[in-house]
Structure 1
């Protein structure tokens, strides 16, 4: 933790906090804080977590690298205030498949008028590639409380049929095969296509390559819920602290 003391001292300077004011924020004694800054003492894990969360920095940065003033002020090194440096984000209109359209699409996927009449969503994409958006309606791509839930929207970029063999194994795709339109993990073996759901109770599909009509590689998702927030390093530190306590209690 060689950078911890130096970093909290720099944080105090940037934020204009005395040792006493900083210490009171985290229920510390001023002498304890001084010991941290001078490297004479190491903080407890919960103190590190509190300081990192309070100042919106990662535990990893707080412990393993010297924080910059720009980082502490949450500015980027390339920040500019010149108006001409900003540009308007280009938006693309993407056909959205949802509700009855999902059932109709296998018979009308190559009907240009039908595609043009589908609902469109606006998405910040500056690309000449074709895209499709698809609304998830079941839990087939959900496992262990993670994955895609009903109402989520996936956006896929078109992959030419001749290039399907180059798609990495396990890639999530929106695929039209035979008379089925679905979102699945894709695997291609020789002249066969295997489509696997995330849910363990959903059996995989197997088709021949010549039954595939369209493939859209999922590139973006729109989730209609808050994502799970977690800090892997923080979780590891908490785990180590719990294990250490158990070890001490064993003696």
Structure 2
């Protein structure tokens, strides 16, 4: 028998934390935490480790014996505070990675699978559904420009009736033919064209009915620092100015 549920309930009471506050601390849903406390569900090992580590409690103590209040008071008490503070909430965005992409193609419409995807926590205010995607190929790269591996794009869900409203040339994350593709979008009367930035990648023409999902790319985060061409120009102008001054001095 595991004492996990009883112990986390006792920890909450000692630390004066609501279920919601405790759940948010470890990226859990309030209902999930409630199920743990009522012993209707067993936690993942990752969750057990995070809670034990946070409160400096051994996993053995957390799982195999009922913790006493006196014992809890001896543990790390970094959550004890007085007064109130403003807690800023960032939007949690499910993100598709290279490791989860194959499973996403199969379970993209399963809420439980989406809930288990890793989350990006970003200061983005949006009531729309958002999806993150970590790029793992060079299809949208041209001479080191464009989107490169490890760059992240975030798309806003586009419903089927709005597919043709997307302006030509915009980037979309699209699921079609059992593939998840980041492409430029072009619409014609009878089909759409998906175009890569890499000139060696052929265009893909598909019918609207073949699209399973489409996300309009609104944000991107680059792993590298973009080249600042203005800085390069300023450096060249400065160099030319110095050379001009040298020539001017030589003619005096």
TM-score, length basis structure 2: 0.57
Structure 1 SS opposite 2:100: helix
Structure 1 SS opposite 2:172: strand
Structure 2 SS opposite 1:100: coil
Note the 1:45-194 alignment, pairs <5 A: 90-194=89-193
Partner of 1:216: 215
Q: Is the 1:90–1:126 Cα contact (8 Å) retained in structure 2?
A: no
Which range is displaced more, 179-188 or 95-104? 95-104
CA distance in 2, matches of 1:191, 1:163: 15
Residue-by-residue CA offset, 1:149-188 (whole Å, 9 max, x unaligned): 1111111111111101010101011001131101000111
Structure 1 stretches lacking a partner, 5+ long: 1-86, 246-251
Residue-by-residue CA offset, 1:118-177 (whole Å, 9 max, x unaligned): 111101111111000001001110012201111111111111111010101010110011
Q: Is the 1:141–1:148 Cα contact (8 Å) retained in structure 2?
A: yes
Residue-by-residue CA offset, 1:63-103 (whole Å, 9 max, x unaligned): xxxxxxxxxxxxxxxxxxxxxxxx87541000010023111
Partner of 1:201: 200
Which range is displaced more, 89-98 or 156-165? 89-98
Note the 1:226-237 alignment, pairs <5 A: 226-231=225-230, 234=233
Structure 2 SS opposite 1:225: coil
CA distance in 2, matches of 1:193, 1:100: 29
Residue-by-residue CA offset, 1:183-229 (whole Å, 9 max, x unaligned): 00011111312100000101111111100111111111111111111
Note the 1:28-43 alignment, pairs <5 A: none
Higher relative contact order (CA 8 A, sep 6+): 1
Structure 2 SS opposite 1:107: helix
TM-score, length basis structure 1: 0.57
Q: Is the 1:173–1:216 Cα contact (8 Å) retained in structure 2?
A: yes
Q: Is the 1:196–1:203 Cα contact (8 Å) retained in structure 2?
A: yes
Q: Is the 1:89–1:124 Cα contact (8 Å) retained in structure 2?
A: no
Structure 2 stretches lacking a partner, 5+ long: 1-85, 245-252
